[in-house]
Every structure is written in C-alpha cells, then in structure tokens.
Structure 1
Amino acid sequence: MDGTNYMEMNDDLLITYLLGEASAEEVAEVDKWLALDIANQQRLQQFRTIWETSKTMQFTEPLDAQASLYALKQKIAARPKVVRIQRNFTWLKVAATLLLICGGAWLYFARIFNKEILTASVNEVKVDTLSDGSVITLNRHSILQYPQRFNGNQRVVSLKEGEAFFKISPNKAKPFIINTSGTVIKVVGTSFNVKNKHGRVEVIVETGIVQVSNREGSVTLTPGDKVLVGDNSNLVKEQNPDKLYTYYRSKEFVADNTPLWRMVEVLNEAYDSHIIIGRKELNNQLLNTTFKNESLDDILQVISRTFKITVETNGKQIILK
C-alpha cells in the first residue's frame, strides 16, 4: 500500500462501528479509512463476515483447545503491533470482541481442513460447478474464490475481479452470498450476472430474487432488473435494456434497437479492441440484428453497410465515421 494512502485502524473502533455505537467523529474516521484503499473495505468485510458467522456457527467436531489457543496466539503475534485506545466497553462490545476472536479462530481452523479454491479464466470462458451443484460461468480475465465445500449456514464466495454468471442451486436454509469490492449479493436459488470492473459493480437478474447491499444501503432485484454501484457506492436500480451482457455465454450479440455506442462498448470488451465513434451523431443510431460466432471485422462491415459509414484503422484504434 502506498504510504500516502496508509492509515492505521484499530480493531476496537471497527467493532464499535459494526455495532452501530460509534460517534459521528468515529464514523467519519472509519469512512475516511475505508475510502483510502479497497484493502480497507475488504478488512471491514472480513470483520463483518466473522461477526455474522460467529453468531450462528455450530461446531460439528471438537477442537483441541490448547492447540487452537496456541495457533491463535501465533497468528496474532504475526500481525503488526497496534497501539490500542483504552475504551469503556459495554457488555455488547465485550461480547462482540470475544465472538470475533472465537469466530476468527473457528474460521482459521475451518480453512485448514476446507481448502479455498482460486479459479481464474485468462483468455477463455470457464465453467465451474461448486460443491452444492451451483454452476458458475466465468468470463475471460476473471477470478473467483470459493471453498472446497460449504460449511455453516451460508455459502460464501468472492468474485475478486471480472465477470461471472451464477446459476445457484436452491437451498433456503443456506443462502448463497457473493462478496465483490465491498458489495454483497445474497440469493437462495436464482440466476444472475455479476460484473466487477475496476471496482464498479453491476448485477443483472435473469430469474429469482437477488438482494444487493453495501454500506450505503440495500436494493432487491427481480428478473429484468439491474443495479449499478457507482464510484460513490450509491446503488442505482434500473431496468436492464438489452441482452448483450450474455455474449460470453451465448456466443452471440443480440441487437434489438440497440444504440451504436452500446454495441461498440460491448465489442470493445469482447474483443479487447479500441473502437471509437468519430461523429457524435452516430452514437444513438439504432441497430437491429444478431451476430453469431462472427469475427470483429465481419461485424464492423455489417455496421458500416447498415449506417453507410466508413471504418478506419489508426494504429490500435478503429474509428467509425
């Protein structure tokens, strides 16, 4: 982390923040810390996950108390030293602290016996089936982390970056949760698309009900809905206007009264190209056609003939004008 973006945060204040007992000044301090670096948001999310898991966790096997305590001490000793601010804890804060410690220890040992899998797609779309039967389709340049098997009362995965389509196996007793860039997506059994591009998150629902939340609020999506998480973390819900987002699964681009700017946006993403529209009046020209398993050159030729425009190449740029 760059020194200019570094600001130490003690665990006591984060616990108070999570419990909703922080003062206005403390909330401002934590918010400032969260805004400095995405790693800080991930740390708070880890605290929140441990806290939520600790409240409902059930131990299915006895743990060696001495071994657990020793390993936990070793883990704590390895962390950077932090000067603690002495606080007058209420009983709830004390309970939260104990739960975080116990929950952290439980999660730590659970990971030893339940390997975390990191799957990545580089130049090809990848399909993976999880232990619960859920099927994940990863677009190119995407990374997903998930446990070898799901334990406890939740099925939690993390979309580190990129885009994925989730077809979730129904289980009302175990909601499925995706964490990505400070955004939490919660479902039971449904299908939806999630894109995390440079920290900007987009969720599009095909079937079922999806709840999307972050520190700014929460929205519920039904089929055809889309939510965008902007730079200010606000959740913007709207109707999804097209099916172009399915291209990496369907291998086709379906344009149905689609503005040219939107088609260009998707083509650039799909082909790693740099197409630009040279004249503003072309931006909202509507395209009605379907391209299936066609090369970028063939698609551009159809667009050229449709709108009677030229396609010029200037280095890596492709200019429509």
Structure 2
Amino acid sequence: MEINDDLLVSHILGEVSPATAEEISTWRNSDPANNERYQQFRAIWETSKNINYIGTLDPQVSLQKLKEKAAMQKAEDDKVVPLNRKNSWLKIAAAILSFVGCGLFYLYQRNFKEIQLITKNEVKVDTLSDGSIVTLNKATSLKYPIRFRGKKRNVILTRGEAFFNVAKNKAMPFIISTGSTTIKVVGTSFNVKNKADAIEVIVETGIVQVTRNGNTVSLKPGEKVLVKQNPLLFRKEKNPDRLYNYYRSKEFVADNTPLWRLVEVLNEAYESKIVISRKELNELQLNTTFKDESLDDILVIISRTFGVTVEKKNGAIVIK
C-alpha cells in the first residue's frame, strides 16, 4: 500500500480501516523520518482545533499565502520523507481548512512557534511556560510551544519516555499526543513511555484520561494503561512497582519484584542484554533498593541473593 498524504490525513481523522491503520503503523516504525512526518500532520491538526482566532479572514488571500508557503517548503520536504509529494501541503491544508475555516493553517504556521527538546545519552529536565515540569529519559523527543495559547496546552511526545508534573489549570487542560494516543489532564503527575510500538501511561497523582480511537479510560494514582498497535490492545491495570521511575530517582526499588521484571528494566536502563536461561528463575522475588549502583554490582547482588551464576557470553549476560 502506498502511504500518501491523503491516507495520513484520513488516519488522523479516524477514517481508515484497522488493516490500513496497521499498515500505517508499520510504515511509521520503519523509519524515524516517516514517524516525524506523521507527527507534523498531527501537530497541525491538533493545534488548528485550538486556535481561538477573533477577526476577519480573506479566504483568497489566505489560500494564496498557503500556496506560497507550500512552494517554499517543497524542495526541503522532498529530501526528508519518501512520500507522494504532489500538492502534499495543499492536501493536508485542505483537510484542516474543511474543519476549522479557511486561513487557519496559515495562521498556525505564522504564529505557532515550538521547541523540540531531544535527549540522546542523558536525562533532561525542563520547565514549560505554564510552570509544568517535564523530565525526559534518554533517547526522547518532545515538542511544545514557546507559549501555550488558546484553550488547551498541547505537547507532542514523538518518541521515548517522559515524566510530567503538570501545573494545575482547570480552564486550560494539558494534552499530550503520542502515537495514536491522547493523554488529557488538568494538574497531575504521571509517566508516559512511547517505545517499541507500545505506549504506557502510569499515574502518580491526580486523574489522567487516556484516549485511543475514541475509547477513553480514566486512571487514578497507582494505575496504568498499556496501548499496543499490533496486536491492538488498550488495557487498564494496577501498576505493580516503582521501577519505571529509575531515570528520575537514580535508583531501582524492588519490592517483592520478580526477577524477570527487574531484568527487563535493567536492560532498558543500561542498554544491556541480560537473559534468564531457566524459566524457574523468572518469578524469584527480590526485596532491595539499588541506588547509583553499576550494572556489575547489581548482578553480583542478584547472584549472591539467589545462588545463581552470572556469565557474560557472546555480547549477552546470562543468568543461570
């Protein structure tokens, strides 16, 4: 299937079949540039819905400015994503204009200035214009406006993981778009992860609404939702541990935590490949806290606690 601009617009508007949605998901995950293109379209759509414009627009003038903008961007866009480029910006503009009125797309391009905060091998903390504080894990990308305008505070988590401590403002909800999922809050704290074609939201304080394809769940403190694209999954459950918080707290808190779960988090945190060779070891319970420990020191403690052997072999670490 050819993934063109019209198809992306239809997907954002929820007008494609489950099979087509799955193909678009595969296309997005095959190349970071593809996903970046999709997120650009979604950002335009989400922002255009919230523009509170008071004044008079001349449709012909606005359309002419839009065409000029498209012509200027065409050469640069052709180098980024292998899509069907013919009139691509006019197509997405047409979809938006049909919902929010002629000229709003141009206003968005002119007035909406955003920051893209990207982390590679470090954790970053930033304060947004409304006073909300966000902590980004490694390999994360977050887009947000220099100043929030309109009736909502919109940000986009393109990839990775972030913890949001949102400043309370009942009149201006805080909305995070990540993949095909939308997260809405007023003032609360929660963790969002968008990795490996799955989205996870864990709530620490307040109430969080998570929406996907028209389905919404409300999460309270200690609850989480897991969203997977393939196979389709939208499941709410109790969050079993505090290990998700390691990149903020610099510690791994194991409280009756099964070994498989700790290994899962260690592999993510240290970019390692730890393998449990025997199934009967998976559910061994661990009760301890590792604070600022090296991976080698943690493995030594695991070995001594359970009387197991830890062996490094062919680039992997085998627990047996």
Instruction: Report TM bin, short chain.
Output: 0.7 to 0.9
- 2:103 paired residue number: 102
2:27 alignment partner, one of 37, 56, 74? 37
Residues 51-78 of structure 1: CA deviation (Å, up to 9, x unaligned):
5325xx234x888988744421213454
- 1:88 paired residue number: none
> 1:14/1:43 Cα in 2 relative to 1: closer, same or farther (>3 Å)?
farther
Q: Which amino acid aligns with 1:37?
A: W
Hey, what's the Cα distance between the residues in 2 that align with 1:232 and 1:117?
33
- 1:305 paired residue number: 304
SS of 1:305's equivalent in the other structure is helix
Task: List runs of 5+ in structure 1 lacking aligned partners.
Answer: 85-92
The equivalences for 1:149-188 within 5 A come to 149-188=147-186
Give me the CA root mean square deviation.
Answer: 3.2
- 1:194 paired residue number: 192
Hey, what's the Cα distance between the residues in 1 that align with 2:143 and 2:308?
45
Hey, what's the Cα distance between the residues in 2 that align with 1:12 and 1:286?
46
Deviation at 1:9, TM superposition (A): 5.2
- 1:14 paired residue number: 10
The equivalences for 1:96-245 within 5 A come to 97=98, 99=100, 101-111=102-112, 114=113, 116-215=114-213, 217-230=215-228, 231-245=230-244
The equivalences for 1:216-295 within 5 A come to 217-230=215-228, 231-295=230-294
Hey, what's the Cα distance between the residues in 2 that align with 1:208 and 1:13?
33
> 1:46/1:143 Cα in 2 relative to 1: closer, same or farther (>3 Å)?
closer
> 1:301/1:129 Cα in 2 relative to 1: closer, same or farther (>3 Å)?
same
> 1:172/1:6 Cα in 2 relative to 1: closer, same or farther (>3 Å)?
same
Q: Which amino acid aligns with 1:260?
A: L
SS of 2:115's equivalent in the other structure is strand
Deviation at 1:278, TM superposition (A): 1.1
Residues 211-264 of structure 1: CA deviation (Å, up to 9, x unaligned):
111215111111111000012343110000000011111111111110000000
**Does structure 2 retain, via aligned residues, the 8 Å contact 1:276–1:320?**
yes
The equivalences for 1:52-91 within 5 A come to 52-54=49-51, 57-59=52-54, 68-77=62-71, 78=74, 80-81=86-87
> 1:226/1:185 Cα in 2 relative to 1: closer, same or farther (>3 Å)?
same
- How high is the TM-score relative to the length of structure 1? 0.81
Count residues with an aligned counterpart.
297
Task: List runs of 5+ in structure 2 lacking aligned partners.
Answer: 29-34, 75-84
Name whichever of 61-70 and 246-255 sits farther off. 61-70
**Does structure 1 retain, via aligned residues, the 8 Å contact 2:45–2:96?**
no
Q: Which amino acid aligns with 1:134?
A: S
- 2:81 paired residue number: none
Q: Which amino acid aligns with 2:216?
A: S
Deviation at 1:144, TM superposition (A): 1.0
- 1:87 paired residue number: none
**Does structure 1 retain, via aligned residues, the 8 Å contact 2:206–2:221?**
yes
SS of 2:210's equivalent in the other structure is strand
Percent sequence identity is: 50
Residues 157-197 of structure 1: CA deviation (Å, up to 9, x unaligned):
11111111000001111111111111111111000000111
Hey, what's the Cα distance between the residues in 2 that align with 1:183 and 1:156?
13
> 1:178/1:269 Cα in 2 relative to 1: closer, same or farther (>3 Å)?
same
Hey, what's the Cα distance between the residues in 1 that align with 2:284 and 2:95?
62
- How high is the TM-score relative to the length of structure 2? 0.82
> 1:219/1:241 Cα in 2 relative to 1: closer, same or farther (>3 Å)?
same
SS of 2:163's equivalent in the other structure is strand
Q: Which has the larger radius of gyration?
A: 1
